[in-house]
Amino acid sequence: MDGKKKNSVLVVDDEVAGIMALMHILRPEYTVYAAKNGQDAIEAAAEHMPDVILLDILMPEMNGYEVIAALKNSDKTRAIPVIFVTGLDNAEDEAKGLVLGAADYISKPFSSAIVKLRVQNQIKILNYIAMIENFSLIDQLTGMPNRRSFDERLRLEWGRSLRSGAPLSILIFDLDNFKSYNDTYGHIQGDTVLQAVAEIFKLELKRSVDFIGRWGGEEFIALLPGIDCNEAWILAEQIRTCIENAVIPLTNGQATKITVSIGVHSHVPRSLDLITDFIQCADKALYTAKRDGRNRICRYDG
């Protein structure tokens, strides 16, 4: 025994057999908690703060979708990755879960190997986030990962998509006319804008696997594993609208507003593809959005 604390998992299922099966698979490696209904799951998550939650969708009184919505609406439990364990197998059900912030899916009937791998993947991401914090790869102004952190995360996700064949999407954001804003209101107020926008990003990107960081200056960058271009566009529009509608106060009590231009690109990596090309495609889309009037989204169409 090296005394290292085990990672923990919360299993949520209204059927005892389902709980017992998952506990049998996970107990050798993890501390496992269990809940038989949605309300108990929410309370257990807040009490134990597990590293990962395995959540059944079809439960009486409070289904899995309602549970994850409650978890993501809580500051305390928002960041805990949730893996749905479900017999539902159509694309609409999976898309609904992803929109609500699910990190992954395990289909019933499940195998021990798949359960272990899905949980291990989320633990690896958590460990990676801890490594970022430990090595100070954080932008001090916004509290977000910086460009160096993005480069390392991109290499990780690029390799994962290369192996799995899943799409990888990227969003590059540029605050419109930010230099003029700074010239008008001062750099301290400019910093306030960057911090306000950073908070919007953190709220809108709900999945634990999503990455958002400060690219430099007034530019931010997001990486969305397993998301295709249409889904990335929808998320980009949500963020664009939130920033456009945000009211950013001045020290004298007056209010200011700002908008953002967004470049979107999605790609399934192949062995000869270059990561630099992947970024450049999104950057070209961003340039088009700015050229065509700003406060808009453009995707790279090749």
Residues 265-285, buried b or exposed e (16+ Cβ, 10 A)? bbbebeeeeeeeebbebbbbb
User: Is 218 annotated as catalytic?
Assistant: yes
- Other Cβ atoms less than 10 A from the Cβ of 230: the count is 11
Asked if residues 232 and 264 have their Cβ atoms less than 8 Å apart, the reply is yes
Q: Residue type at 114?
A: I
Question: Which residue is catalytic, options 157, 204, 218, 244?
Answer: 218
Q: Which residues are catalytic?
A: 218
